[in-house]
Structure 1
Amino acid sequence: MDLDLPIPPAPVRPVLTELRLPAYKPHRGTVLPLAPLTFLTGPSGSGKSAALEAMAALARLGAGAPLGEVFPDPASCVPEWAVAGGRQGRGFRIGCTVDGPAGPVRLDVAVRAEPELRVQGERLTADGRVLLTTALRDPRCRSVQAEWHTAGSARVTRAPLPDDRLGTALLPLRVAGTTEGQRQVLAAAEQVLVALRSSFACDPRPGRMRSPVAVGEGRLRRGCGNLAEVLRRTRGECGTRHAALVAASRTGCAGAVEDLAVEDLADGTVRAVLRRGAHTATPVERLGDGELRYLALALVLLTGPGVLDVDPVAEVLSARQVLTVLADDFDRSLDRRQTAELLALAARMTRRGHIRLLGALREGTPVPGAEGVDGAGHAGGPEGAGGARGAGGARGAGAVRVVHLADERDDPRGRDRP
């Protein structure tokens, strides 16, 4: 089915344009420029999965989740080279940039992992102005001291905030919006939250997808174990997208495919089947791992957040939100033909503007139309310099980008740093 339809002009919507990992797991000063379609490559141990985990963590923090839920093993997030500083303990730092109606907005978070998990500090910045800062002033208190821009009779407002939550996620509940400065703070915070909360981490698990499932609300979960339930919903609600998925499955699945259907079983559960002809059908439990992962990823790319297990900002129209899919090991279990077809589908769908994708690929996987950023990660120079080593950070504004992460263990500039 031809999906190269005319692309309507899109409104300005918040999108993630940069992921920063100053100090997180193997990363030191890593800056990842994000295009609508971005893939990370590099050797094992270079930090591809860690980068995607950090992005997913920011999304959960933006949805208001407490630190303990987002980082169940915080010590594993601390870089090996991190040194405890007195009472501060060891920790890690992550951040991102979100572009949109308020311009580029930077969010940076420092987390103390030892001796106990707490927010060490947070900063929200737009147009060169610091709109929010938080800091752990007194380790004996279970709060951070927050200051946000007011531009009224008082230039800033000060108040304590919980030390286990993202302060930016709490601002819409704390800032009245009565002054121009407060409205600027709210606009920046809401822009970041809209982009973060419109993220979906997808890791299809074929072992879970082969079992029949109960009928629920029809929202695809991270492991895609309820694929049959979601297919039942999408097949009945959107014939156009279902037809596109059937067309895609003909490339990704062996044999002839006439339809993707769902069968009701006697125990009340449902299972997905591939219709081969008038009297022939193949249950999905007979499909290979690559075929199942292909079907799940194609379904995610062809649908929107309405059928995915995401928590978007309800007060913002869906037309003003862009779904960001996070897909580690994007090409795991896929053959070359399946990978090429999914890459082409991802390029077409991200070009339309309603979806973006950040994924990880095996080294050497060709990505048609991609511009490269070589050696991004473990940036040299002083702390906070950022940028991609060699490429200088973002390069160009292409719609498809491949970022190669270097293994710091093979880089002499990454050794023996304090």
Structure 2
Amino acid sequence: VDGPAGPVRLDLAVQAEPALRIVGERLSQNGQILLGTALRDPGRRSVQAAWFTGGAIGVTRAPLPDDRLGTALLPLRVAGATAGQRQVLAAAEQVVVALRSVFRCDPRPDRMRAPVAPGEGRLSEDCANLADVLRRTRHECGTRHALLTAAARTGCAGPVAGLDVRDRADGLLAAVLDRGPGRPATELSRLGSGELRFLALALVLLTGPGVLAVDPAAELPAARQVLTVLADGLDRGLDRRQGDELLRLALLSCGRGHIRLTAVVGEGTAATARGLADVVVVDLTA
């Protein structure tokens, strides 16, 4: 994580079985370890932690819980009385702000098909309230809604003239694809799972913190906040054309400087991404 404190690195070791726990953590800067934790006794629900203090003491040691990120707990433990402690606090704050500015997105088509109640128009992580958010973007941001409609022509089968939201008699909202003059509209509930995932992910890439259900970092002015979208299986259930279109939208949005995308993809999408500028591909099978 880069920022006012300079480049800071956070490494984690996580144990998944029999229970999820953090068994090791290292916060470092320029090769210096600012915080290190390790699981010494598997029978205890704590790790032994040591953080840089500076001055006569050098290092402070204490147990920390194994179900919380030690970096996030440092402001509760470190007073900031020495230059070393202030360095630790600055590095920890920089990492925590970055982690808070993450929107974990995993669209669930099975939850996106049902009509939804009107709300505040902030997209949930499973994108179940897609219709409510589309109603908001259609009225508040015509440019981005037009970009989403253009993307839908690539990611959805059949002609697409627009994306609209209808009020049902029961007070709920249902999103529809406008098929153009003389053609009946198609409710999103009738689309395939891949089409629904594509529309949700495209919407995420074209919007920002004000539309996504994420807590913005109040420590930073709005102009300097960068949202990171985290998608495990970005191209899951998508065909090659849909995956390539999401990459195009990601490059468009990331190029504006207010969004970053970290995603796990299949080999097909990765092959396309390798030929694009400003994209880093890490081969997890190597």
TM-score range, shorter chain: 0.7 to 0.9
| Percent sequence identity over aligned pairs | 69
- TM-score, structure 1 as length reference: 0.61
AA in 1 matched with 2:160: V
1:88-237 aligned within 5 A: 98-111=1-14, 118-137=21-40, 142-152=45-55, 154-237=57-140
SS of equivalent residue, structure 1 residue 229:
helix
TM (norm. structure 2) is 0.85
In the other structure, the counterpart of 1:405 is 284
Please give the per-residue CA displacement for 1:139-165, whole angstroms capped at 9, x wherever unaligned. Answer: 665443433222245333344332321
2:177 corresponds to: 274
C-alpha deviation, 1:308, in angstroms:
2.0
Q: 1:334 aligns with which of 238, 247, 250?
A: 238
Structure 1 residues 128 and 370: alpha-carbon distance in aligned structure 2, compared to 1, 3 A threshold = same
Is 1:314 the counterpart of 2:193? The answer is no
**Shift in alpha-carbon separation, 1:114–1:230, aligned structure 2, 3 A:** closer
For the pair 1:355 / 2:259, whether they are aligned, the reply is: yes
**Contact (CA 8 Å) 1:195, 1:321: kept in 2 or not?**
no
Shift of 1:185: 0.9
Structure 2: gaps of 5 or more residues? none
The 8 Å contact of residues 371 and 402 in structure 1, kept in 2 or not, is answered as no
**8 Å contact from structure 1 (residues 371, 401) kept in 2:** no
Contact conserved, 2:131 with 2:165, CA < 8 A, in 1? yes
SS at match of 1:183: helix
RMSD: 2.8
- 1:123 CA displacement: 1.7
1:406 CA displacement: 2.7
Deviations 1:244-278 (A, max 9, x none): 21222222223333321111112221111122346
What letter corresponds to residue 345 of structure 1 in structure 2?
A: L
Q: CA distance change for structure 1 residues 239 and 113 in 2, over 3 Å: closer, same or farther? A: closer
Return the match for 2:207 from 303, 308, 314.
303
Aligned-pair CA distance for 1:368: 4.6
Do 2:112 and 2:128's aligned partners in 1 also have CA atoms closer than 8 Å? yes
- 3-state SS of the aligned residue for 1:274? strand
Counterpart of 1:252 in structure 2 is: 155
Change in Cα spacing, 1:136 to 1:361, as seen in structure 2 (3 Å) is closer
Asked which structure has the greater RCO (Cα within 8 Å, sep 6+), the reply is: 1
Confirm or deny: 8 A CA contact 1:204 1:293 kept in the other structure: yes
Q: Secondary structure of the equivalent of 1:109?
A: strand
Question: Per-residue deviation at 1:241?
Answer: 1.5
Gaps of 5+ in 1: 1-97, 373-397, 408-418
Structure 1 CA distance for aligned equivalents of residues 17 and 236 of structure 2: 35
